[in-house]
Amino acid sequence: MGAAASAWRRLTVEPLLARYAANERVAAVALSGSTARGTADRWSDVEVAVFWEVPPTDDERSVAATDAGAVILRLFEFNVDERVWCDDLAIGPASLLVEVVHMLESTAEDYLSTLLEDCEPEPLLLNFAQGLLDAVPSHVSERLAAWKKRVSDYPSELQRAVIRRNAQVDHFWRWRAHAERGNSVLLAAAFADTATRIYATVLALNECYGPNLKSPDALTRPLPTAPSDFASRLRACFSLDPHRQAEVLEALVEETYDLIERECPDVDVGRLRRIFRHARTPAGPAEST
């Protein structure tokens, strides 16, 4: 995983980036994600962001792709909620998957205002900010450079908002019921939800927007403010039996709460601990086997 896979992907998509950048209605084109960070592996797709001054037409999207030698897998309609157009393309002899997100400059500005000024801790906005930090421009763009500078300053109010959104772990005790009932699906989901919340909280403590756990390098990035051996413990616990897994996750949650108390004293960690530690006591005789 890393340099070789990332370099090959960059080389493969260069004609596509150049073709988008040639459109005078395009303000900026950038490579993002694990390929931009240099941490891609052979399963990684390539993320491309295209910022437009005006809405792109279907012809502009499709012609740019085909002129660059890409095969159009699907051109998605405008996503009203996210305010983007998305394309799935295949390019090169290995049919490398390229996910292209088209966005108006004005939408990018709105995203940043909502995240950095209103401090709305939405995962979509956090992922967008991380994408800007990772972005490798295909050409010089003052607008993209300004956006990258803007997201380089992580607001303390946003940090607290992300922590409040993710640090509350409800009904952790339910893992015992799932295990006793033999419900491996809900057991895995409960543990995954806790792990995801811990990870998101630790990112915020380190004033990081991402990457999220989907990324191949999510648990390799150094995070100075984190429980000891955070990444290795989080990875390893999912190979343990349920009781041991619960012990590891419980310890990680409690240690993360210690860090919140130290770094963000205005967050009510006492309340978080009470919610996390609450447990229902089973009633009645256990079923005999």
CATH number for the domain including 144?
3.30.460.10
User: Rounded to an integer, what distance in angstroms lies between the CA atom of residue 214 and that of residue 41?
Assistant: 12
Tokens of 266: 């205005």
pLDDT surpassing 80 at residue 15: yes
- Domain boundary residue, one of 153, 178, 206: 153
- Whether 212 and 145 share a structural domain: no
For the chain, the domain total comes to 2
pLDDT surpassing 60 at residue 251: yes
Model pTM above 0.85: yes
pLDDT one-digit tens code per residue, 37-85 = 999 999 999 999 999 999 999 999 999 999 999 999 999 999 999 999 9
User: Rounded to an integer, what distance in angstroms lies between the CA atom of residue 242 and that of residue 173?
Assistant: 12
Boundaries of domain holding 244: 159-277
Token look-up 């019921």 returns: 177
pLDDT one-digit tens code per residue, 181-224 = 999 999 999 999 999 999 999 999 999 999 999 898 899 888 99
On average, the pLDDT of the chain sits at: 96
pLDDT surpassing 90 at residue 2: no
Q: How far is CA 175 from CA 235, 250, 285, in A?
A: 18, 11, 19
User: Rounded to an integer, what distance in angstroms lies between the CA atom of residue 58 and that of residue 75?
Assistant: 8
- Domain boundary residue, one of 133, 153, 173: 153
